[in-house]
Chains A and B, each alone.
Chain A
Amino acid sequence: MTVKAQFLASYKQLLRSLIKSNRRSKISQINEDNKKQIALLTYRKINLVRQQASEVDSKKRLTHLQQTHEITKLIENLKANDPVKLKSLYFYDSPSRLRHTVLHDFPSDQASIDKRLQHLRDISGFIKNQMEYEQLVERYNPGLKMDQEEKVKRTAARVGLRVPDC
C-alpha cells in the first residue's frame, strides 16, 4: 500500500468513529435543547391563555390569540424537528480544521509516518470504544439517563401512583 492509500484508510477510520460518536451525542443534545425550548414556550402559552381569558379589550384579546397560535406553531415545529433526520450530522463540524491538524507537518520518514498513522488509529480506537462503553453503561443503567421528572414518574409508578399531568 502506498503512503497515500494508508493515510486515506486511517483518515476514513478516524472520520467514521468521530461521526458515529458525535452524531449520537449531537442528537441527544438537540433533543434536550428542543425539550427545554418546548417547555419554555408551553409556559409562555399558558400565561398568554390566562391573560387572554381575563382581558376585556377585544382588540388585545385578538393579538393574544394570534400570539398563542404562533407559539403553538413553534412548538409543533420543534416537535417535528427530529435530529435523526438531519443529514448535516453525517459530516464533521469543521472538516478543514480536522484535515489541517491531521496533515500538520506531515512527516517524510517512514518510521514517523507509521507512528502518525498509528496515532490516528489510536484516536479512532479510543472514540469507538468510548462510545461503545457509554452505550453499554446506559443500557445496563437506564436510570442514569433519566431526568428528574422521569425518575419521579417511575418512582410513583412503582407504588401504583401516577404523577398528575400539568
Chain B
Amino acid sequence: MLSSMLRGSSVALRTVSARSLARPVGVSAMMSPIRLYSSSLNKDEISTRIIDVVKAFDKTTASAQVTNETHFAKDLGLDSLDTVELLVAIEEEFDIEIPDKVADEIKSVGEAVKYIETNPEAN
C-alpha cells in the first residue's frame, strides 16, 4: 500500500529533486530535504547492490569472484548483448535509465558504481 502510494508520487518528487539539484551542490545538499529520497546512497551500498545483480546474472560463471574491479568482458566473458542485459538489470535495480552514450563507457563494476553515485535519480 505504502509502496504504491510512494510510487504514485515519485514522479512529482523526482521533478522537484532534479530541479533542486540543478542548484550548486553544496547548497542543495544542506537545504533540500528531497535529497533524502534521491541520492542518499553511499558508495558501499551501491557497490554491494551492483555486485548482487551481477551475481544473479546466469551468464556469469558461478565461481567468478565479483568485486569492484571486475571487468564485464575480460573477467566475466560478457559480449556486447550480455552487457546490455546486465546494464538494463542495473537500471531496474536503481530505477533509472542510463543514456546510451554513457552506457557505452560502462565496462566494469567500478565504472557502474561511479555512474550510479553521480546520478541523483538513483534510489
Interface of B is mostly: helix
A-side interface residues, number (CB < 8 Å): 19
Asked if A87 contacts B85 (CB within 8 A), the reply is no
Q: Answer whether residue B88 sits at the interface, using C-beta atoms and an 8 A cutoff.
A: yes
Asked if A91 contacts B58 (CB within 8 A), the reply is yes
Asked if A99 contacts B81 (CB within 8 A), the reply is yes
* Per-residue contact bits, chain B 3-37, to A (CB 8 Å; 1 contact, 0 not): 10000100000000000000000000000000000
Known: A16-B91, A91-B89, A99-B81. A139 touches B8 (CB 8 A): yes
Asked if B100 contacts A9 (CB within 8 A), the reply is yes
B58 to A, closest residue via Cβ: A91
Q: Answer whether residue B73 sits at the interface, using C-beta atoms and an 8 A cutoff.
A: no
B82 to A, closest residue via Cβ: A95
Asked if A90 contacts B100 (CB within 8 A), the reply is no
* Candidate in A4, A91, A92, A95 with the most chain B CB atoms within 10 angstroms: A91
Residues of A within 8 A of B97 (CB): 16
Asked if B80 contacts A15 (CB within 8 A), the reply is no
* Per-residue contact bits, chain A 50-89, to B (CB 8 Å; 1 contact, 0 not): 0000000000000000000000000000000000100110
Asked if B93 contacts A90 (CB within 8 A), the reply is yes
A85 to B, closest residue via Cβ: B52
Q: Answer whether residue B53 sits at the interface, using C-beta atoms and an 8 A cutoff.
A: yes
Lowest 7 CB-CB distances: which A-B pairs, in order?
A87-B56, A90-B89, A90-B92, A15-B88, A12-B84, A88-B56, A16-B88
Which residues of A are in contact with B by a Cβ distance under 8 Å? 4, 8-9, 11-12, 15-16, 19-20, 23, 84, 87-88, 90-92, 95, 99, 139
CB pairs A–B below 8 angstroms (27 shown): A4-B80, A8-B80, A8-B81, A8-B84, A9-B100, A11-B84, A12-B103, A15-B85, A15-B88, A19-B88, A19-B89, A19-B92, A84-B3, A87-B53, A87-B56, A90-B56, A90-B88, A90-B89, A90-B90, A90-B92, A90-B93, A91-B56, A91-B85, A95-B59, A95-B85, A99-B81, A139-B8
Which residues of B are in contact with A by a Cβ distance under 8 Å? 3, 8, 52-53, 55-59, 80-81, 84-85, 87-93, 97, 100, 103
